[in-house]
Structure 1
Amino acid sequence: MSPLMLDRLCLALLDTIAMVGISAAIALVVGTPLAVFLVLSAPGGLVHAPRLYRVLAAMINGFRATPFIVLLVALLPLTRLITGTTIGILAAVVPLSISATPFFARIAEVSLREVDAGLIEAAQAIGCRRRHIVRHVLLPEALPGIVGGFTITVVSMIGASAMAGAVGAGGLGDMAIRYGYQRFDTTVMAAVIAVLIALVCLVQFAGDRVVHRLRSR
């Protein structure tokens, strides 16, 4: 690869990290409360809100069932409304966040449901309020599973960010399409694939290490 292509590859990598990082942060901040509410408001939960639970669960299932490329195109008007454009890093953050949030919320919900019911009953027996149960029982006990689920979410978002390059979102996907596929440059395509694999392996390794430390405490 030429020095110019190497520079473009480094810039594309930084763009991908920025897209995924911002979107992952949004998914974490929004998805965690969604997961907590789904657990609390489910039948037999600590909050009696069956109608709201059904509506929220249906919405989450709807977004999860929609392929990312379809969601990406369908959200173009909303993306333009929020960011003022449909291309670039900020434009990619909107569909990435909306796609990743319900995905992560469901994974985190599974981890929260696996918390021993006896711990919750014990907390209720000593007079703990719902917010205390969530803060001191549910979240700490489910934290390793939530971190593991967040790692899976970030890995899937890296693949989705590459797909977003098809509509000019920038990053490694955009470089692979523009300089690899359209110009029939297999060297550029192979380099982008190698960087994506390395990035996924790094994220997975870091996530596994954090989960291992949390479980060994």
Structure 2
Amino acid sequence: MNTIQTALSSARFNRFMLWFGVLVLAAGAFALIFKYAGGSDATPVNPSPGFHPKLPTKSTPLKNANGVTIKTFYQLDPGMRTAIRKFIGTAVMRRNLDEGWAATAPTLRNAVTHKQWMTGNLPVVPYPVDNLNTIQYYLDYASTKAILVEVGVSAKASLGIRPASFQLELVPVGHGRWAVDYWMPRWTPPVPQN
């Protein structure tokens, strides 16, 4: 046996080759994982050099015409309450849709044209409200930027539809006018019926 064969067959050299092979395998596996599991998003992680983070502007509590901070639904100005009732009576109930278009903020209706809106193809969850006078309202919050109201509605008993709770948001549109910007059911798990 020559010296090269002796060196290659030694236990020490074989252990070294084993650990070297494990190291090369681990490096290859890490490279593959980093390349393919890292995702394909090429968006830079760091913000752009000109980015300066800003906190949102502080919203101030809404006050009615008498200067009282609004804490309940019935303290809202009559125009705001009328806008809510008009929206529910038109867009939600699918009646007089032209009036519903006017009571809706542009951000809610931006996905449809006026013509599509008039056909009833609108981004508003419908509900067959039985009586506009029996709707229950609860004010979640009111600021100068938005008003969030919880709306409890019920349908005629003959329809077999459960009462529902919706969230409605009003935002200022123009000068002194408020329009509905958000209308979605507030889902809660149904109570089992016997």
The TM-score, its normalising length taken from structure 2, stands at 0.25
Which is richer in helix? 1
* Bigger relative contact order, structure 1 or 2 (CA pairs below 8 A, ≥6 apart): 1
Report which of the two structures shows the higher radius of gyration computed on alpha carbons: 2
The TM-score, its normalising length taken from structure 1, stands at 0.23
